[in-house]
A = this chain, B = another copy of it.
Amino acid sequence: MTSGADQAGGTDMSGGNLSESWLDAVRWDAAGLVTAIAQELGSERILMVAWMNREALAQTAATGRAVYWSRSRGRLWRKGEESGHVQRVRELRLDCDGDVILMKVEQQGGIACHTGRHSCFFSRLEDGQWVAVDPVLRDPETIYK
C-alpha cells in the first residue's frame, strides 16, 4: 500500500483501510460533516476548529496531515496549502457520541489562524467584552501571497 504518509512526514493511523468501519463509526451530520478540533502537542493549546467530510478524514488519517472540508469554498482544504502552515497529525480521537474528531497536531510555522496568530481562540471574555489577548505573530498579508 502506498500512502502519502512518508512524503508528508506524518503517521498513517488508518491501517491502510479508508473505506472501513472506523469511518462508519463517525456520526456524520446531515451535510456529511463532522467537527474537527486541532490541539497542539506539547502546549496542548486548541489551535482551531473546522469541518471534515469522510474524504477529508480518510486523507488526514492516511497522510498524517490535517485535511479539512472548507464549507465556504466547497472543497477539500489541505491546511497549509497556501500559508505553508501545515498541521502534522500525531493522534486522532473520537468522542463518546461520535460527532467530534480531536487531532493532536504539530503546527508548522507556529501559526494556525488566518489572522497570523498562534490560535484562532485569541479573544477572551472580559467584563462583557471579547478582547483580543494574543499577539499577531505575522502579518497575514505576508502569509497569503
Contact = CB atoms under 8 A, between A and B. Distances in A.
A21 B113 CA distance: 24
A83 to B, nearest CB: 14
A contact residues, range: 35 or more
A111 interface: no
Contacts of A5: none
The 6 closest A-B pairs by CB, nearest first: A15-B128, A44-B44, A15-B127, A92-B125, A95-B120, A93-B121
A49 B46 CA distance: 13
A20 interface: yes
A20 B94 contact: no
B125 A17 contact: no
